[in-house]
């Protein structure tokens, strides 16, 4: 199986020994209690579940600046985005002490991790804006990722962590949420060698389904892991439980047995376009995938990124050899009326726009809200029914 990123084995920071974990939960009661942001809590979940191998905890200011400028930590570990505990104020926190990180996403704000404080630094406004511009390609506060990042504060509290739970993800999505270790075990149990990973934060329509199948065929893969983001999205996006039901229904009806598995990960969407695409590749390698689909406007939002910037970054900025996972570059996919099948647009240069079944996201939402199913060439009827039920319940 493919090696994890930068290591021979996964570096999962979750305390799996039950007695040790209970002892640490009790110990946390005596520590300074720090309510962290949703982004920091999600980072803790990803560190705990092995997706951020080989990191041992939260990055320092020097690491953040280095990652922003060079996509590597001060120690030279390749990483495309900061993994940080950033706070608005740090009163009562001192270097060398342990602090209990409280989860803002669960009732009662329970402790999610214990951090040993290595360093406390403050980013200047110039440094903060530079980091944001490098990671997101803009400093526009209307960008949802930029807005979320800037809301966390300027203080950077670095240090190793011990993760005590997986927040609401393992509670709300017990069948879907899986750690990188668990997915590797599932891949091994399935007997798969070549594995395609597909990232989604949306329900999958017919074009997404066929794209997974195209990629599997192109690389002669044994199976596909449909890996769903379960964390916070921007306003208006379809909630994870609805996406989960829609994707499960699609796989049950339209994929061959033992050719696809559905899983989810506990992370908030960054909407960082190219940089987030590279991050996605890092944790897909960590979960055991050999190939990763990068499509049009991957991890993008609005018109902040070019259609294929997320593919170009791998060729232009990611040093050769730092990642073992291979990228499958995909074009926009749509149903061809001429050929009566879903195709990649780049493969049919003789087609005009009217030869495809194309619907905007706005149009699809309007149809679903009115109880009108999109055409079957666009969305499978079983999936459309789930989405119609959701939109009509709003």
105-107-111 Cα angle (round to 5): 70
CA 41 to chain centre: 14
- Name the catalytic one among 202, 275, 284, 296: 202
CB atoms inside a 10 Å sphere around CB 35: 13
Is there a catalytic annotation at residue 201? yes
Q: Which residue, chain included where needed, has tokens 């951020």?
A: 52
Cα 57 from Cα 16, distance rounded (Å) = 17
In the residue annotation, 43 being an active-site residue is answered as no
Going through 212-340 in order, the beta strands assigned E by DSSP cover: 223-229, 260-265, 291-294, 326-329, 333-336
DSSP H or E stretch at residue 384: helix 381-393
CA distance 136 to 146: 7
**Token pair for 114:** 């214990």
Residue among 263, 255, 256, 309 nearest 288 (CA) = 263
Which residue of the set 21, 201, 296, 365 is catalytic? 201
* Alpha-carbon span 271 to 278, nearest angstrom: 12
Q: Exposed/middle/buried for 296, CB within 10 Å: 0-12, 13-18, 19+?
A: middle
Q: Which of 19, 70, 74, 16 is nearest to 48 (CA)?
A: 16
- DSSP designation for 4: P
Catalytic residues: 201-202
């Amino acid at each position: 199986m493919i090696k994890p990123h930068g290591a021979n084995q996964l570096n999962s920071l979750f305390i799996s020994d039950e007695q040790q974990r209970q002892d640490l939960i009790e110990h946390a009661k005596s520590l300074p209690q720090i309510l962290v942001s949703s982004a920091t809590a999600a980072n803790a979940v990803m560190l705990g579940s092995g997706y951020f191998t080989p990191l041992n905890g939260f990055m320092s200011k020097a690491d953040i600046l280095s990652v922003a400028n060079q996509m590597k930590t001060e120690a030279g570990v390749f990483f495309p985005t900061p993994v940080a505990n950033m706070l608005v104020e740090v009163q009562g926190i001192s270097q060398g002490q342990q602090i209990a990180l409280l989860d803002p996403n669960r009732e009662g704000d329970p402790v999610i991790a214990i951090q040993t404080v290595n360093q406390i630094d403050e980013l200047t406004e110039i440094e903060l804006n530079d980091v944001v511009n490098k990671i997101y390609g803009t400093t526009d506060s209307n960008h949802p990722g930029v807005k979320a990042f800037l809301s966390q504060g300027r203080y950077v509290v670095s240090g190793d962590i011990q993760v005590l739970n997986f927040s609401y993800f393992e509670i709300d999505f017990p069948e879907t949420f899986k750690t990188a270790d668990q997915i590797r075990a599932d891949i091994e149990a399935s007997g798969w060698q070549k594995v395609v990973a597909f990232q989604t934060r949306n329900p999958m329509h017919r074009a997404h389904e066929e794209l997974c199948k195209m990629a599997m065929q192109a690389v002669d893969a044994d199976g596909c892991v449909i890996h769903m983001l379960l964390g916070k999205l921007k306003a208006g996006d379809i909630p994870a439980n609805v996406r989960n039901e829609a994707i499960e229904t699609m796989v049950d009806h339209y994929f061959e047995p033992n050719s696809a598995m559905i899983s989810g990960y506990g992370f908030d969407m960054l909407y960082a376009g190219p940089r987030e695409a590279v991050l996605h590749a890092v944790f897909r390698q960590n979960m055991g995938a050999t190939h990763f689909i990068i499509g049009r406007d991957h991890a993008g939002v609005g018109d902040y990124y070019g259609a294929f910037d997320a593919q170009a970054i791998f060729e232009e900025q990611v040093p050769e050899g730092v990642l073992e996972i291979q990228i499958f570059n995909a074009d926009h996919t749509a149903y061809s009326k001429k050929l009566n099948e879903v195709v990649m647009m780049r493969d049919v240069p003789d087609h005009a726009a009217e030869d495809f079944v194309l619907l905007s996201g706005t149009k699809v939402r309007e149809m679903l809200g009115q109880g009108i199913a999109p055409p079957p060439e666009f969305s499978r009827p079983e999936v459309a029914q789930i989405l119609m039920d959701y939109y009509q319940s709003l």
